[in-house]
Amino acid sequence: MSNPSISATTAPRQRWEATAWLLIGALVGFAVGGVLGGVLGGPMGSLLIKSAEAGSSVVNGVKNGFILGGTIGLLTGIVWSSRARFNPQTQRKLKRFHSIKRGYWSFLILMVAFGVSLLGQFFV
């Protein structure tokens, strides 16, 4: 009945789906890795970094731990998300959301405003 030479392959992912998964994986990986690195970096900084200023070793440990943990988490999230796929029901819902232009453009405007507000922290 079944032909072993014919293998069941999945359809290639669309570009928007791959991009969405890469962004999700990168953001979640950076957040989780950064928090873990920051929490573990404080005690490690107080033990390993010697400074004349009181408390600066803990602050530097948290900062370095967040950066290192976030980078490792970012890379791990990208690798993990490169293999993830949306289920068919979620794909239908996302296509329907994209087809309703008013909601889609409102979402994009809100995301741009959120990004601008995050960039504003650099100037304050």
Residue range 34-90, pLDDT digits in tens = 888 888 887 887 777 777 777 778 888 888 888 888 889 889 988 888 888 888 898
Average pLDDT of the residues of the chain: 82
φ, ψ of residue 112 to 5 degrees: the values are -65, -40
At residue 10 the predicted structure's pLDDT band, cuts being 50, 70 and 90, is low
Q: What is the pLDDT of residue 14?
A: 77
pLDDT at 4 over 70: no
Give the distance from CA 43 to its chain's centroid: 26
Q: What is the pLDDT of residue 113?
A: 93
Q: pTM for this one? A: 0.61
pLDDT at 111 over 80: yes
At residue 110 the predicted structure's pLDDT band, cuts being 50, 70 and 90, is very high
Q: What is the pLDDT of residue 106?
A: 92
Q: Tell me the percentage of the chain whose pLDDT exceeds 90.
A: 6
Q: How far apart are CA 96 and CA 104, in angstroms?
A: 10
DSSP H helical segments within the chain, as ranges?
15-48, 56-81, 88-99, 101-119
